[in-house]
Structure 1
Amino acid sequence: MDFTEVATKPHAVCIPGPAQSHIKAVLKFAKLLHHSGFHITFVNTEFNHKRFLKSLGPNSLDGLPDFQFEAIPDSLPDSDEDATQDVTLLCESIRKQNFLVPFLALLAKLNNDAISTSSNPPVTCIVSDGFMSTFTITAAEEIGVPIVLFYTIAACSFMGIKQLRAVVEKGLAPLKDESCLTNGYLETVIDWIPGMRDIRLRDLPTFLRTTNSDDILVEFGWGLANSRLPFFWVIRPDLVIGESAILPPEFVAETKERSLIAGWCPQEQVLNHPSVGGFLTHSGWNSTVESLTAGVPMLCWPFFGDQQMDCRYTCNEWGIGMEISNDVKRDEVEKLVKELMEGEKGKKMKNKVMEWKKLAEEATGPHGSSSTNLDNLVNQVLLRKS
């Protein structure tokens, strides 16, 4: 590619929220833009940039001549932990616009490089995670380029988040005390959201993270074991502390011939394997979409963020999942696993999820609705001259 081609190529700076699921979603979108002819600069926090290098090797972020990775500080204390940082501290840092100055400095550097070298074109647009908009909109206005806010959650969850202020104003939150978690109060119906029926207070997105204790995970594990079915169980390192703390020797002995336990997996590859009959998920939006597009029904165990709303729609609106209660008991898990894999309801869910898979394939085909929407976004917004 000669200098003229580089200089005239559209240049999108893509910045995700500094958490694993957000990074993955924005990275996929960045790849679509790259395929559409954009030069891409993908911006992680220094913390997550280091995690990539530690996990994938020192050359893993070298990128391509027209797909480069950069990093900016997040103002949080340095850490070598291989886990998402404290969500409250991250949100506070974003809200205070601690990212703005380093982000503007990076944009200036990219534009200066475009003048002094032939390595990249000037920045022509910004694609920002919607949760980073407190500073990215300001930055886009500062350099005079269009910006797109990409929310890495479902539309139903976005609508749920929009109701949180009203929930407080109506006196439904904050909760009076811990008894509200168990006395049925969370079943209070939220009936004012346009186009959304039968939503309960507990379905709304929450940033109060519940904890997976060792006891709960052991109880769940024995439910898997008692189903007598083969399983692959991925236990992330930041989910619990130490494998030995949650997997007693008798569990390992009981399941060793029909189980595989790991700390990580290439989830999309696993879900698309023909031997997979069901997926236990916390119901994050990435996982929900990946399971749906692979044609795999779900057992849903939500505990944070948008997961409750995703679970509600997966199980009650789309008919492709069953929910595990927060008070996890091995008998319930055993029953749900067997129903998912062998029962009549499981068969109906499988048929239903295959219908959704077909619709997803049509939408993302060459002339599908999603492909058309992406083309319109690129041509009418991202390529718009300021």
Structure 2
Amino acid sequence: MLNLAEIFTISGFQVTFLIPEHIEKGPRFSNIHARFAHYPSFRFKTFSDGLPSNHPRTGERVKDLFESIDIKTKPHFRDLLESGESTSNGRGPWTCIVADGIMSFTIDIAKDFKIPTILFRPFSASCFWTLFCVPKLIEAGELPIKGDTDMDMVVANIPGMNGVLRLRDLPSFCRVEDVTDPQLQHVVSETHRATNAYGLILNTFQDLEESAVTQIHSEIPRLYTIGPLHANLKHARASHARNSLTKEDRECLLWLDAQPLKSVIFVSFGNMTVLKWQQFIEFWHGLVNSGKPFLWVIPDNLIECGRQILVEFLEGSEHHGKVVDWAPQEEVLSHPAIGCFLTHSGWNSTLEGIYESVPMICWPFYADQQVNSRLVGEFWKIGLDMKDICDRGIVTNMVREVMETRRDEFIKSAQEMALLARKSVCDGGSSCTNLVRLIEDIKLMNELKSS
């Protein structure tokens, strides 16, 4: 979202970026304010998501966030639009709302003020379309998933993607025995609400997910596929500063400089994954036993048992690899020392890995990640899918398969996919063209509002 906001700023728009106050007040908040200070037309504004500052907002507890946003954030958002603050300090009135796709309440509230809303869903197109088709899966009896169901059964009722996914590859929200599950119903409802918005932005490109994009376009005509967004942003600005809300450990880049070509496993499960201690131990031993050096991102909330036991465990183990709180991921993935990306298959991470042609080992945690890992392993052939397994022997074997026995095969496939990604954001590419169309459509909104 921040990358998209910067693209809008560079394109001449005045941008107000709403950020949850618990992030801005957190101990690991980056100097992002300073980085954006040279854009006079850009400003941050905080809002409350209604949860206490110490709430984890991760894992199973993310459902609390959905509920709190509905109760607390909606009235705050209406108050903001009613305040007339948009026209303060010489700024013009708001022309358009670009909202996270899980906050579709913005559509109705903004409509009261005659402001169009475009939703931005940071999922893959394939996951968005899968969630859109959940009612079809329920009607066909493929959902709910009962306890004795064969999870490798192929799903047959997703138009355009028939035979692509198994039950275990459906979004984690679908792993319920009761289709009235509140979290599943909420996510599916929010997905369908996109048809009521002015349009939908997806961070993907045509050649990557053509079937899903075609199906979504039939339901939502104003569809803007403009990914990889981080690459489109690189083309839009001269500098390559990273838009991260979290402080990054840049010393890891110096450590990578000292490693041989394509020798290092980069390990990051994002900032929402929560590992049990035994899962961490399996990954640790699997990596160590592989004999490959690794760079592992371990934020405070990664492991259930907390940071202190982890610190004690890691003491004296530096010779196996390097551990950091957070890393400049785009730069790490582009570093010549990286030979493999062990990832949770979050969509940003997946796209960044594709763009830098890094083969992946996927261990999805929740949400869209199950879908993404299936595509990486089975259809794009740029890595291996390790979902629903956490075993040190398998970790070791998969690392060796990606970095040794099938190394050339995976590198070739990854380079071919990276070429398509890079073409999409070049002049005349599908994502570049769609981004221009999006910007022109918003400019037209502004002209209509001014006339």
Q: TM-score range by the shorter chain?
A: 0.7 to 0.9
Question: In the alignment, which residue of structure 1 is the partner of 2:64?
Answer: 89
User: What pairs with 1:211-222 in structure 2 (closer than 5 Å)?
Assistant: 212-222=275-285
Aligned equivalents of 2:424, 2:36: Cα separation in 1: 33
Q: Does the CA-based 8 Å contact 2:273-2:302 persist in structure 1?
A: no
- 2:356 partner letter: A
The alignment covers a number of residue pairs equal to: 346
Question: In the alignment, which residue of structure 1 is the partner of 2:169?
Answer: 203
User: What pairs with 1:307-346 in structure 2 (closer than 5 Å)?
Assistant: 307-343=369-405, 345-346=406-407
SS in 1 for 2:99: strand
Give the number of the structure with larger relative contact order, counting CA–CA contacts within 8 Å between residues 6 or more apart. 2
Worse overlay, 227-236 or 206-215: 206-215
Query: What stretches of structure 1 of length at least 5 have no aligned partner?
Result: 1-25
| TM-score when normalising by structure 1 | 0.82
- 1:69 partner letter: F
SS in 1 for 2:72: coil
C-alpha deviations, 1:75-124, integer Å up to 9, x for none? 22x22467648311111234x35322211222333x4452x532x22111
Question: In the alignment, which residue of structure 1 is the partner of 2:135?
Answer: 165
C-alpha deviations, 1:133-158, integer Å up to 9, x for none? 1x110122121122211111111010
User: What pairs with 1:135-174 in structure 2 (closer than 5 Å)?
Assistant: 135-174=105-144
1:102 paired to 2:76: yes
Q: Does the CA-based 8 Å contact 2:99-2:117 persist in structure 1?
A: yes
C-alpha deviations, 1:252-292, integer Å up to 9, x for none? 65x53241012211111111111001100000100000110
Worse overlay, 305-314 or 163-172: 163-172
Q: 1:320 to 1:161 in 2, by over 3 A?
A: same
SS in 2 for 1:357: helix
Aligned equivalents of 2:110, 2:299: Cα separation in 1: 36
User: What pairs with 1:113-262 in structure 2 (closer than 5 Å)?
Assistant: 114=87, 117-118=89-90, 120-133=91-104, 135-177=105-147, 180=148, 185-198=150-163, 199-207=165-173, 212-240=275-303, 241-243=305-307, 245-246=309-310, 253=316, 256-262=318-324
C-alpha deviations, 1:163-198, integer Å up to 9, x for none? 233334444444444xx4xxx522222112122132
1:347 paired to 2:408: yes
User: What pairs with 1:48-87 in structure 2 (closer than 5 Å)?
Assistant: 48-51=23-26, 55-56=29-30, 60=34, 63=37, 64-76=39-51, 78-80=52-54, 84=58, 86-87=61-62
C-alpha deviations, 1:23-49, integer Å up to 9, x for none? xxx111111111111111001222223
Q: 1:349 to 1:47 in 2, by over 3 A?
A: same
Q: 1:92 to 1:221 in 2, by over 3 A?
A: same
C-alpha deviations, 1:299-351, integer Å up to 9, x for none? 000120000000011111111110124232211111110111112x2221111
- 1:204 partner letter: L
- 2:67 partner letter: E
Q: 1:382 to 1:187 in 2, by over 3 A?
A: farther
- 1:29 partner letter: L
Q: Does the CA-based 8 Å contact 1:148-1:382 persist in structure 2?
A: no
Q: Does the CA-based 8 Å contact 1:41-1:70 persist in structure 2?
A: yes
Question: In the alignment, which residue of structure 1 is the partner of 2:351?
Answer: 289
Q: Does the CA-based 8 Å contact 1:224-1:333 persist in structure 2?
A: yes
SS in 1 for 2:337: coil
Aligned equivalents of 1:210, 1:58: Cα separation in 2: 24
Q: 1:313 to 1:259 in 2, by over 3 A?
A: same
Q: Does the CA-based 8 Å contact 1:301-1:324 persist in structure 2?
A: yes
Q: 1:154 to 1:186 in 2, by over 3 A?
A: same
Q: Does the CA-based 8 Å contact 2:424-2:430 persist in structure 1?
A: yes
Query: What stretches of structure 2 of length at least 5 have no aligned partner?
Result: 176-271
Q: Does the CA-based 8 Å contact 1:218-1:246 persist in structure 2?
A: no
Aligned equivalents of 2:73, 2:35: Cα separation in 1: 21
**RMSD of Structure 2 on Structure 1 (CA):** 2.6
Q: Does the CA-based 8 Å contact 2:100-2:119 persist in structure 1?
A: yes
- 2:152 partner letter: E
Question: In the alignment, which residue of structure 2 is the partner of 1:268?
Answer: 330
Worse overlay, 367-376 or 62-71: 62-71
Q: 1:234 to 1:226 in 2, by over 3 A?
A: same
Q: Does the CA-based 8 Å contact 1:363-1:369 persist in structure 2?
A: yes
- 1:370 partner letter: S
Question: In the alignment, which residue of structure 2 is the partner of 1:365?
Answer: 426
Q: Does the CA-based 8 Å contact 1:280-1:300 persist in structure 2?
A: yes
Q: 1:204 to 1:325 in 2, by over 3 A?
A: closer
Worse overlay, 305-314 or 255-264: 255-264
1:298 paired to 2:360: yes
Aligned equivalents of 1:131, 1:369: Cα separation in 2: 26
- Residue of structure 2 aligned with 1:43, choices 8, 14, 18: 18
Q: Does the CA-based 8 Å contact 1:215-1:246 persist in structure 2?
A: no
| TM-score when normalising by structure 2 | 0.71
Aligned equivalents of 2:62, 2:275: Cα separation in 1: 17
